[in-house]
Structure 1
Amino acid sequence: MKVLRCMLSGKWVAAGVAVLLVLLVAALFAGYAWRPAETEKVAYIYRDEFGIPHIYADTDEGVMYAFGYAQAEDHLEDMVRNYLAVNGRLSKFFGEAYLQQDLLVKALRIKETAENWEGQISPEVYGLILSFAEGVNRYIEEHGDELPSWVASYRVTAEDVIALQYYAMLSRSIGWAMKELKGASAESAGWGSNEWAVAPSKTVDGSTVLLGDPHLPWSGLNRWYEAHLEGDKLHVYSATLYGLPFILIGFNRNIVWTLTRNGVDLADIFVEKLNPEDPTLYLAEDGWRRAESLEVTVKVKKGDGLKTLHRVFYYTRHGLVVKADLERGFAYAMALEGYGNLRAIEETYRINAASNLEEFKEALKLRGLILWNVLYADVDGNIYYVYNAAIHLKSEKYSHREPRPGWEADAQWGDIIPFNELPQVGNPASGFIQNNNVMPWFVTVESGIKPEDYPAYLVDRDAEMNDRGIRAFSVLSSKEKFTAEELYNLAVDVHVVAADKYLDSALKEIKEALAGGKFAEHIDAAREALEILEGWNREALKDEPGMTVFYFWYRRYRQTRDVVEAFRLAVEDMLACYGKVDVKWGSVHVFSRGNITLPIDGGDHLAPTLWMAGHTMAKCREVCASGSSFTMLVYLKPGNITAYTLIPYGESENPSSPHYADQMPLKSQRRLKPVHFYREDVEKHSIEITRLRLP
């Protein structure tokens, strides 16, 4: 099998090109467009100016095969690392730093669970996953000589792909459990995101509009890959994670959807009472039960060789034992929501193929996605939200923030909460829905959702609106109708709500302190900093020194809770870092890839804005590596979809690729790129076409 690739500049590269060129020329002069022979199965991968693959085939199987191939072109090593991770084999190739991760993956039986997919995943969807894996393997086989040995020798299975989606979902529950075990606030686990939808009644041109803007790290397991898939049932565009076959947030010809993290309780720690005579026995409400055991083997790279380690893990009926106190006779097992649940990959495919709200809801009722604020809009003008949670009912007699007694009957989990009992809103009178990691009663004006109607392990009844929620709610409720441009501006909004909350009163105190001579040591710098703050428009713009002064002050204020002392320390900090206080935010707040470093607008998790970019401030500079990780803005009308997207760096992980960092200038300018969704537009903007013969 050969790949025939053409560059629209006229330069042909690949085998068999001469024959194809003759056919094309003959077809052109014969007055018809050349197509492959009817008996030949092919897929076409069109690469646009940003390297986004637009994949066309007659069947979804063909699309999946080509999608696996296209992903491998752009980030094969990262894909294989992900697949090694779900097999517990990272330490074999990369050393002891990955040993604990490998042990946990093997202890949780991630791959074994995926291998038992029947009954949860339909044969149809399994076939699509298999085609995707075969496409990846096709690329490995063709390019083995160019690849590191650990990649060239790998062959992806459908079960690897299933395991990856399963682990990506289960990792949220694992993180929740570990925080609970350590006594930290589980509610703070994970990352934030933005989403809002506006009905046709609230737009000037009658469009339905939806924004999706997940805030995730820009590296690691949760990285976004943008793609366009056109088969027989699939006609979908947007983003998925490296190594997964279906779009996770996106749109098709009729609907658009997105996700943000919600606050559902994803795990419980059960304390188990051990038998003093035999610690492998633990107490249940009906007597003693025997813990299961499992010996796992992990190979670890050591120098030029490998060492083999063996570990024994124990399990109670609640889950993996993660801690034991044999002296006191207790063990702690983690019960994970979503454990053993492989249906997310089937659910995602059905969402991709859904054409209306009813089909979308039917997909959600598979309950494979165990969390998320799910937001939906369609070409018919519907907007819909559900606080999604495929978690178990349980007694509120026991706090969901503390270990539950494993031997008490009323501490055990019940059935999964029925879908129809989840908080949800459809087509509200306000004409908008927003959820920027807020509780469901904040999603719109008069949502009809009441905190007291839901258990504390599902919602946080005492939660307040966060800064991003305040901003989105304020703007969306501020006027009757919005133009397309106004909604675009909201998608990239950098207004600092923390400044609205604190700055007016702080400025008054600082002025009084200056008048009282409290800044004698750096009086000129303090006066200049005050003047900068007074003239600031409260936008986190890269050319604004006001954002820099505010950030340094607010960081110190969060530590001291003393307005004047925080200002004094902020002035000292800025002088120590920069020798002055008139410093543009873009000098401090940057992002980087390879040898490219650019300034970037927006706030971070300390001073949030809707358009987010942040990391930990180090050595007087914040090199951003998380925040708005994939921005998607979609305008829908019947027969007409207009969309804009952006990822922070580029589509490729190959440093020599022109698409390694080509979206960075747009990110720095707060500009989204237009999406090419219709075939004519795709062909017009394609700079490379791959014709892939299918098996």
Structure 2
Amino acid sequence: MFSFVKNKPLYPIQWHKVLRRFLPFLLGIIFILVISSQSISSVPKTTEILWDTYGIPHIYGNNTPNAFQAFGWAQMQSHGNLLLHLYGQARGKAAQYWGEDYLESDKWVLTMGVPKRASTWYAAQSPAFRSYLKAFANGINTYAKKHPDLIDDEVKVVLPVTPEDVLSHLQRVLLFTFVVDPGRVADITHTKSALGSNGWAIAPKRSASGKAMLLANPHLPWGDLFLWYEAQITAPGIDAYGATLVGIPVLAIAFNDNLGWTHTVNTHDGWDSYKLKLQKDGYLFDGKVRPFETTNFSLKIKQKNGAFREQIFSVQNSLHGPVVSANKGKALALRVVGQNSPGVLEQWWDMASSQNLTQFQKALQRLQLPMFTVMYADREGHIMHLFNGLVPVRQQGDFAYWQNTIPGDTSKTLWTKMHPYRDLPKVIDPPSGWLQNTNDPPWTTTFPIAIKADNYPSYMAPRGPMDFRAQRSARMLAEDESISFEEMIAYKHSTQMELADRILDDLIPAAQNQENQIARRAAEVLTKWDRKADANSRGAVLFNSWVDNLDINTAFSIPWNEKSPRTTPDGLADPESAVKILANVAAKIEQTYGTLDVAWGDVFRLRSDNVDLPANGGDGEKGIFRVVTFAPTNDGRFQAVNGDSYVAAVEFSQPVKAKALTSYGNATQPNSPHIGDQLQLFARQELRPVWRNRQEITAHLEERTVF
């Protein structure tokens, strides 16, 4: 570079020019080295679980299989008895393990071919993901070997757990509980499901901080296979926080530093019942007789004395699917989507690993998830609503047609293909700056309308109506042009009854004009009522009971109208009849509780072990966003059994701001301090801070498990 004469340079070195020329390059090298060293140091030498004071496992895996193994261990520590119970049922051997009460469950699982399909699905996994499933099962089994005293003896019969058990459970949950509920199949009707959810995505233009926000809020029963498990999983290539259903080895609702999503149960029709015409030993199809494929299962049923009774159970399969009922020369066969989609878990894993909208959509495009709305937000400010699912391509009929039993003697009604990703209703970054879904059709996700029903097949989703919870949801978002993180959480806990705003203005004056004294006193209570279902709301019990005794389908003077989806229905069609019902209900309430204006929380309770707290929230059909469903108890009160379960509020600021709650706590194992330990927060309408970095977690550390 330089020439020297007599130890002197031919040209003097101008060091300031050299540094100016090469300094950016040198700084770049230094930056790369620093980042590389940080990346290397961020991968722990061992795998560990840091348990925080709410029983949330924060898993740090030095590689992906070890992270899966730790997650299996964590689920056993928190929910071991439940997990093994669920896996035993997914095998179709629950009656053999636990007796006659589980026989119908076994028959359902075997009829739908769950255990056999699990083996096919396992073989179809990528080699890497197959190793992850092995590791998850190994974590379950390792925990059981190390802590046999912490697991109930009656569920140990399920051990050891296999990767196929995990996939059997996944099928039973997703395909044969969510897509098609066995309880609904009993009478072969598409009835309204108790499975629900709220989801919001708010763009920077409507956020007070200028950052996108996400609200995750599924509503499920507070037990059995519907129980949420909250966790953080950190391993090379992933650092995600969220929740999944017990027994599922990946997060189903999650967020990371760059993006997040939630699911809602969408108005998706992924199953149909077909009426077959039986002839000879088969069924008629396109003018020809087709034979059934028959499979026989030998069921062992445990008796109360410990002995076993054996029973042969036969399943007949048609082109449409398995026969679920047969009599008087007719049979009904069930067809369910998703049975050839073994990549559900890997898709969820890759969604949680994604860092931007492009990567996230690439994972979604696989269409392995059989159903569920996807509500999405990210750090770059994008928001998205996807009507996700496997939607059959149907030759005829609208949504209502496919809710009925379908003729099974012709290929014209037998669907075989699914709509590709591009066909599904979807909106990204709508002009409104907000998206909502409360299990309503995609057409009402935002206003002005961004997804138009006319652009999609009439069988894709129903045209309406927009129920009161969806109207309440849209109203809160539309009426606030600058929503803060704290306001989003406050809205999430709203117990305002949208239905009351539509109907009380007619009911109260009608009752006040009656000579019936109890009707007039009831009107006085309703006049003073705050129209909420908070614990101290007086009048909510009266109104709630009145609506429950009303024929809501014929109650309104103005029916729901697609042109006014957010303000109809409205008004009372028959005020005189409505007042009579009010008087009867009021008399019963006064007799039962001693007063007409009994507080909501005195009647509706939150209970778990030694916890007994006044509840807030109620039935979403009455327009309450804070959904809680109650069941009657022996003392004349009602106990929360369903509804708000896992909640997460996320703002994609730097760093990400997040709060969450798992209503019933993050454990069910006996003697765990985390059974019901979040109900106090639930009662106060609060969320807890989410701890995501090691400094926060160790500051609230309860236990450390090192592998």
Taking structure 1 as the reference length, the TM-score comes to 0.88
Alpha carbons 2:376, 2:384 under 8 Å: kept: yes
Separation in structure 2 between the aligned mates of residue 42 and residue 459 of structure 1, nearest angstrom: 49
1:691 paired with 2:693, answer no
Give me the whole-angstrom Cα distance separating, in 2, the residues matched to 1:131 and 1:545: 53
Q: What is the alpha-carbon distance in structure 1 between the residues aligned to residue 454 and residue 188 of structure 2?
A: 26
Cα displacement (A) at 1:458: 1.8
1:403 to 1:177, Cα distance in 2 relative to 1, 3 A = farther
Aligned partners of 2:604, 2:178: CA distance in 1, in Å?
32
1:544 aligns with 2:559: no
Gaps of 5+ in 2: 1-40, 556-576
How many Å separate the matches in 1 of 2:670 and 2:521? 43
Q: Distance between the aligned counterparts of 1:306 and 1:438, measured in 2? A: 47
**Is 1:82 the counterpart of 2:82 in the alignment?**
no
Confirm or deny: 8 A CA contact 1:666 1:672 kept in the other structure. Answer: yes
Residues 99-248 of structure 1 mapped to structure 2, 5 A cutoff: 99-117=103-121, 120-153=124-157, 154-172=159-177, 175=180, 179=184, 182=187, 184=189, 186=190, 188-248=192-252
Counterparts in 2 of 1:176 and 1:139: CA distance versus 1, 3 Å: closer
Confirm whether residue 518 of structure 1 aligns to residue 516 of structure 2.
Answer: yes
* Cα distance, 1:349 vs structure 2: 1.2
3-state secondary structure, aligned to 1:577: helix
1:40 CA drift (Å): 10
Shift of 1:262: 1.0
Which secondary structure does the structure 1 equivalent of 2:261 belong to?
Answer: strand
| Alpha-carbon contact 1:635-1:643 (below 8 Å) kept | yes
- For 1:298, the aligned partner's letter is L
Amino acid at match of 1:557: L
Q: Which of 573, 594, 598 matches 1:579?
A: 594
Matches of 1:247 and 1:173, distance apart in 2: 17
Contact 1:83 1:164 in 2 (8 A): yes
Match of 1:673 among 670, 688, 695: 688
Residue matched to 1:565: 580
Tell me how far 1:223 sits from its aligned partner.
0.5
CA gap of 1:683–1:261, structure 2 versus 1, over 3 A, is same
- 1:653 CA drift (Å): 0.8
Distance in 1 separating the partners of 2:645 and 2:268: 23
Aligned position for 1:321? 323
Cα deviation, residue 629, structure 1: 1.0
Q: Structure 2 CA distance, aligned partners of 1:108 and 1:536?
A: 50
TM-superposed deviation, 1:79: 0.4
The CA deviation at 1:505 is: 0.9
- Helix, strand or coil for the counterpart of 1:117? helix
Q: Which structure is larger by alpha-carbon Rg, 1 or 2?
A: 2
**Shift of the alpha carbon at 1:161?**
0.9
Closer, same or farther: CA 616–662 of 1 in aligned 2, 3 Å: closer
Query: Displacement, 1:174?
Result: 6.4
Range with bigger deviation, 202-211 or 477-486:
477-486
Residues 426-480 of structure 1, C-alpha deviations (whole Å, 9 max, x = no match): 001111011111111111112332223323332102x121112111111111132
Q: Name which of structure 1's ranges 445-454 and 225-234 shifts more when overlaid on structure 2.
A: 445-454
Query: What letter matches 2:153 in structure 1?
Result: S
Match in the other structure for 2:333: 333
CA displacement, residues 44-95 of structure 1 (integer Å, 9 cap, x when unaligned): 1111111111111221211111111111111101000111011011112221
Q: Deviations over 1:26-45 (max 9, x none)?
A: xxxxxxxxxxx999962111
- Superposition misfits of 4+ residues, deviation over 4 angstroms: 37-41
Task: Give the whole-Å Cα distance in 2 for the aligned partners of 1:69 and 1:176.
Answer: 30
Partner of 1:507: 508
Match of 2:566 in 1: none
Taking structure 1 as reference, are residues 397 and 661 closer, same or farther at Cα in structure 2, changes over 3 Å only?
closer
CA distance in 1 between partners of 2:532 and 2:479 (Å): 19
SS at match of 1:296: strand
Aligned position for 2:658: 643
Equivalent in the alignment of 1:602: 617
Which residue in 1 is equivalent to 2:548?
Answer: 555
Which among 631, 638, 642 is matched to residue 626 of structure 1?
Answer: 642
State the AA in 2 paired with 1:309. Answer: Q
Structure 2 residue identity aligned to 1:161: V
Aligned length: 640
Would you say the 8 A contact 2:526–2:543 is kept in 1? yes
1:534 matched residue in structure 2: 527
| RMSD between aligned residues | 2.2
Letter aligned with residue 705 of structure 2: T
- Aligned residue for 2:136, secondary structure, equals helix
Residue deviations 1:266-317, cap 9 Å, x none? 2111122222xx22x2222262221100001221110222212111111111
Deviation of 1:690 (Å): 1.6
Q: Which moved more, 1:472-481 or 1:599-608?
A: 599-608
Structure 1 contact 590–622 (Cα < 8 Å) conserved: yes
Q: Deviations over 1:581-603 (max 9, x none)?
A: 13110011112111221111111
Provide the C-alpha distance between the structure 2 equivalents of 1:647 and 1:60, rounded to a whole number of angstroms.
Answer: 26
Q: Which amino acid letter does the alignment assign opposite residue 409 of structure 2?
A: W
Offset at 1:391? 2.4
Q: Tell me, yes or no, if structure 1 residue 293 matches structure 2 residue 268.
A: no
| Contact kept? 2:84, 2:156, Cα under 8 Å | no
CA contact (8 A) 2:218 2:643 kept: yes
Counterpart residue number, 1:415: 417
Give the match for residue 356 of structure 1: 356
Q: What residue number does 1:267 align with?
A: 271
- Following superposition, the deviation at residue 177 of structure 1 comes to 7.5
Which amino acid is the alignment partner of residue 313 of structure 2?
R
CA–CA distance in structure 1, aligned partners of residues 376 and 105 of structure 2: 35
Change (3 A) 1:129 1:208: same
2:263 and 2:374 in contact (8 A); partners too: yes
Q: What is the identity, as a one-letter code, of the residue corresponding to 1:536? A: W
Note if contact 1:162-1:345 (Cα within 8 Å) is conserved in structure 2. Answer: no
Which of 29, 54, 59 is matched with 2:58 structurally?
54
SS at match of 2:85: helix
How far did 1:226 drift? Answer: 0.5
Give the TM-score normalised by the residue count of structure 2: 0.87
- Map of 2:312 onto structure 1: 310
Contact 1:42 1:62 in 2 (8 A): no
Q: What is the CA distance between 1:132 and its match in structure 2?
A: 0.9
- Distance of 2:596 and 2:474 partners within structure 1: 34
> Partner of 1:615: helix, strand, or coil?
strand
Q: CA deviation at 1:264?
A: 1.6
- 2:183 and 2:61 map into 1 onto residues whose CA distance is 44
**Is the contact made by 1:264 and 1:457 (CA closer than 8 Å) also made in structure 2?**
no
1:21 corresponding residue in structure 2: none
Structure 1 partner of 2:440: 438
Q: Secondary structure at the match of 1:573?
A: helix
Which letter maps to 1:353? S
- The residue that corresponds to 1:382 in the other structure is 382
2:179 touches 2:371 (CA, 8 Å); kept in 1?
no
Equivalent in the alignment of 2:667: 652
Runs (5+) with no aligned partner, structure 1: 1-36
Q: Shift in Å at residue 195 of structure 1?
A: 0.5
Indicate conservation of the 8 Å contact 2:43/2:235, yes or no. Answer: no
Partner SS for 2:516:
coil
